[in-house]
Amino acid sequence: MPIDGNLLILSQWLSPAFPIGAFTYSHGLEAAIEAGWVHDAVSLQNWLEDVLEQGTGRADAIWIRAAMQDGADLDDLNALARAYAPAAERLREAEKQGAAFVKTVNAVWFTNFPAVQLPLAVGAAAARQRMDGDAVVSLYLNAFVGNLVSAAQRLMRLGQTEAQQVVTALTPLCLRLTLVSRSEGVEDLWSNAFLSDIAAMKHETQQPRLFQS
């Protein structure tokens, strides 16, 4: 069986080493920990389950799929994605990481993608490489979880083993959302992760803080 080189490229894009500055964003988690809503491995896992299934995780999966469709208009999709952003920091997080992702991809793979929000940028670049949609969405969601668990380790008492247990526990949900996203489009977008959105808003004035979101 031939080796799929696209998996190596995708792993490179979603690696913590890829220069999009993901380590500087907590997606509102810093505010949630400050408020005591997240305080240990169990509450962290519960929080991330909601963010994945009821909020950003599911939405990002839909945006990736939309950007991978033939004839996708990135400018229109980006305008719509901006309209769905629930907080200023959440929008800035997606835009800055997307712009950094596009800058590097354009320079290394000689493409000419416009600066759009991160899930759209990943989807568009993946479509050009003819990557498998399921692989892109599942690995993206896994990387999303890994980044937030890493942020939690810097904000509260969470050991390396506990951190990896949380990531592992959320893997089945990442896979399930990947399958669900096959049949969903932008017309199916919604979010019920209200406390996560409130945390993103609270973080805008939180002092002191380590993260940009």
Q: Give the model's pLDDT for residue 160.
A: 96
How many domains is the chain partitioned into structurally?
1
What is d(CA 17, CA 36) in angstroms, rounded to the nearest whole number?
30
Task: List Cβ neighbours of 38 (8 Å cut-off, separation of 6 or more).
Answer: 29, 32, 44, 47, 152, 156
Question: What value does the CA radius of gyration of the chain take, rounded to a whole number of Å?
Answer: 16
**Confidence label for 94 from pLDDT (cuts 50, 70 and 90):** very high
Q: Give the model's pLDDT for residue 52.
A: 98
Does some domain include residue 208?
no
- Burial 66-104, CB ≥16 within 10 A → b, else e: bbbeeebebeebbeebeeebbbebbbebbbbbbbbbbeb
Does some domain include residue 4?
no
Q: Give the model's pLDDT for residue 191.
A: 92
Does some domain include residue 207?
no
Does some domain include residue 211?
no
* Mean pLDDT calculated for residue range 111-139: 97
Query: Residue 2 pLDDT more than 70?
Result: no
Q: 124 is written with which tokens?
A: 């568009």
Name which of 2-16, 86-100, 124-138 the model is least confident about: 2-16
Does some domain include residue 60?
yes
pLDDT in tens, 4-23: 789 999 999 999 999 999 88
**Confidence label for 143 from pLDDT (cuts 50, 70 and 90):** very high
Does some domain include residue 17?
no
CB 115 within 8 A of CB 99: yes
CATH, residue 106: 1.10.4190.10
What torsion do the CA atoms of 99, 104, 109, 115 make, to the nearest 10 degrees? 10
Residue with the bigger pLDDT between 120 and 1: it is 120
In Å, what is the CA distance from 192 to each residue of 22, 24, 30? 24, 25, 20
Q: Which domain holds residue 160?
A: 27-199
Coil vs helix vs strand at 112:
coil
Please give the model's pTM, rounded to 2 decimal places: 0.96
Does some domain include residue 11?
no
pLDDT in tens, 30-66: 999 999 999 999 999 999 999 999 999 999 999 999 9
Q: Give the model's pLDDT for residue 60.
A: 98
CB 70 within 8 A of CB 92: no
Sign of CA dihedral 63, 69, 75, 77: negative
Does some domain include residue 167?
yes
Q: Give the model's pLDDT for residue 4.
A: 79
pLDDT in tens, 170-186: 999 999 999 999 999 99
Q: Give the model's pLDDT for residue 173.
A: 98
